[in-house]
A and B are shown apart, each in its own frame.
Chain A
Amino acid sequence: MMARNLFIPITLGLVITFLIGPFLIIVAASFSAGETLAFPPQGFSLRWIAKVFTVESFRDSFYMSMFLAIGGTLVALILGIPASYALSRYKLPGAETIRTIVSAPIIVPGIIVGLSLLRYIVVPFQVGITLALFLAHTALILPYAVRVVSASLGNLRSDIEEAAVLLGSSRLGAFFRVVLPNIRGGIMSAFILGFVTSFNQVPVSLFLSGPGVRTLPVDMIAYMEIVFDPSVAALSALLAFMSIGIVFIAERFLGFSRYV
């Protein structure tokens, strides 16, 4: 009886410890005054947080990551919204196959996606590093865009488009006037999910990064191999707060979790 009562709180405690614990350690370590990444932190200072903003490669790779996350998500949505619409409104031959192919990047391990892109696309076709990263990120975000937008299209009756047409709208006009406004929440959610997915992406970016062009996570790994100071912890903490902030705002204003 006693063991049963303790089972749930202990499980919960372990889950929280292992999920939140490392994060708390990183946050604490980033306020360290010491020279090396260590826990418990030695003293208290903001010098490593300040240092993050002075490392030039961090700044460049941050811009690269932002570019990939925002640009890749936008392109994935431009491709994904019409794709979702076609998949949910028309009985297409092979619709299931298309769905599976589009979802493949979620299922296939990133390391395999990265290696195959490098081996079979980037090297043989001499694709530039930035373009390669951009294409890879777009492909990785696409499944999320299609899934989330499809879910929100599924909640929308299709006869409102016919109603719009009978009131004088063209088919395309009906899509913009009555479909898009009603799936706005889903599109925003897909954007956020895509952004976060891209920004936190490591394995694929690792394979495709090259001289001078890196995403932020890849750059952090490279930095740690040479310098072992707490600035990486400080940067990690900053990024984690950024992600939490975005998801929090999304949940607050869009009811994010309805679509994911």
Chain B
Amino acid sequence: MSDANFLTLENLTLAYGDTVAVKDLNLTIGKGELVAFLGPSGCGKTTTMRAIAGLLSPASGHVKLDGADITRVSANKRNVGLMFQSYALFPHLSVYENVAFGLRLKKTPAAELDKRVKAGITSVGLTDYADRKPGELSGGQQQRVALARSMVMEPKVLLLDEPLSNLDARLRLDMRSELQRVQKETGVTMIFVTHDQGEALSLADRIVVMKRGAIEQIGSPEDIYNRPTSAFVADFVGFENIFELSDGRLKTPKGPVELSGPVPIAAGLAWRPRMVTLGSGPFQGTVRGASFAGNSREYLLDTPLGPIKAEVDAALPSHELGAELAFDLPVGAAAQLRTFG
């Protein structure tokens, strides 16, 4: 084993009864990596996370962690931490006892336990709340207790289920930097599950985009954002003009359309609204919708290619509804999709 394949999922198939949730998944995660599982609900990201935690046994395949096959190791012996979306704090125990729970089970000597629990509570800034019950804390504080409770066990992998989605904008920023700090200080391998691309892009080293129980694309945030390889990922990260290619021409509802310039070999092409050139080009469209978005204006055009979304600088002169506009879909700017559908 090297640090590069610290956690390996091999041909992992996960099912609830007869319903297959994840099919033949392969993934390797390096030690200390911060990985996001990104996808819509039902894509299998939470199921995969539960399988890594040991809360779900795979129908087939293997989970390997730190050189050992842990597929059949029960959840309470894996030393994998999980921060639940609902935090799952023990309501009858104080913050201190919540954090101490795992160490007490491990029969940690009293002095060491006290030292580690206090350090854990202090590191998440809740020193003054050690004697409170979870019910007396705010959502953000509860989440930090949950983080301390997992981290005090020094887990090999920390799993986080939608860590930012229950928080308001300001707390979101706090928690994001908190997680980055924990990751930097402890070097723990982190995997978090999210349906929010912004969350994944801002926090992760690497993003695994999932769709219907399979991996759709793996890449750095820049890769995923700028170079989606499938129509699904392109759509997920905000490419709103997506076309299938056939024989070097765009497939549209009204027949194939030639593009200006050489067309790459790809299954499809996708453009963000910002990439659409407005005011010049070989195509014509009618403005059907216009909205002002601060720095920019967004237009919805009715065109022979179907509806096209374009976004231009707000400083440029605006266009009226019903105006006829020339536009172009520059081939050079487009994301090249390897798979379509």
Which positions in A face B, CB cutoff 8 Å? 156-157, 159-160, 162-170, 173, 177-178, 181-182
Contact = CB atoms under 8 A, between A and B. Distances in A.
Contacts of A159: 84, 86, 88
Nearest to B92: A181
Contacts, number: 59
A169 B81 CA distance: 13
Given A157-B86, A159-B84, A159-B86, A165 B76 contact: yes
B149 A167 contact: yes
Contacts of B106: 168
B306 to A, nearest CB: 45
A164 B55 CA distance: 12
B90 A163 contact: yes
A27 B45 CA distance: 68
A168 B88 contact: no
Given A182-B91, A182-B92, A166 B75 contact: yes
A167 B84 contact: no
Given A162-B55, A182-B91, A182-B92, A168 B86 contact: no
A232 to B, nearest CB: 45
Contacts of A181: 92
Interface string B62-100: 000000000000011110111010101111100000000
Nearest to B85: A159
Is the interface on chain B under 10, 10 to 19, 20 to 34, or 35 or more residues?
20 to 34
Given A168-B76, A168-B105, A170-B76, A163 B91 contact: no
B270 interface: no
Contact of A167 (B54, B92, B101): B101
A122 B140 CA distance: 61
A46 to B, nearest CB: 47
B51 to A, nearest CB: 13
Nearest to A182: B92
Contacts of B80: 166
B84 A163 contact: yes
A178 B153 CA distance: 18
Interface centre among A160, A164, A168 (most CB of B within 10 A): A168
A166 B106 CA distance: 12
Contacts of A167: 76, 101-102, 105, 149, 153
Interface in B99-123: 101-102, 105-106
B301 interface: no
Q: Which 5 A-B pairs have the closest CB atoms?
A: A167-B102, A163-B88, A159-B88, A168-B105, A181-B92
15 contacts: A159-B84, A162-B75, A162-B88, A164-B101, A166-B53, A166-B78, A166-B80, A166-B150, A167-B149, A167-B153, A168-B76, A168-B102, A169-B76, A169-B105, A182-B92
A159 B84 CA distance: 8
Contact of A165 (B55, B86, B149, B153): B55
A165 B92 CA distance: 17
A84 B84 CA distance: 25
Contacts of B53: 166
A196 to B, nearest CB: 27
Interface string B132-157: 00000000000000000110010000
A160 B89 contact: yes
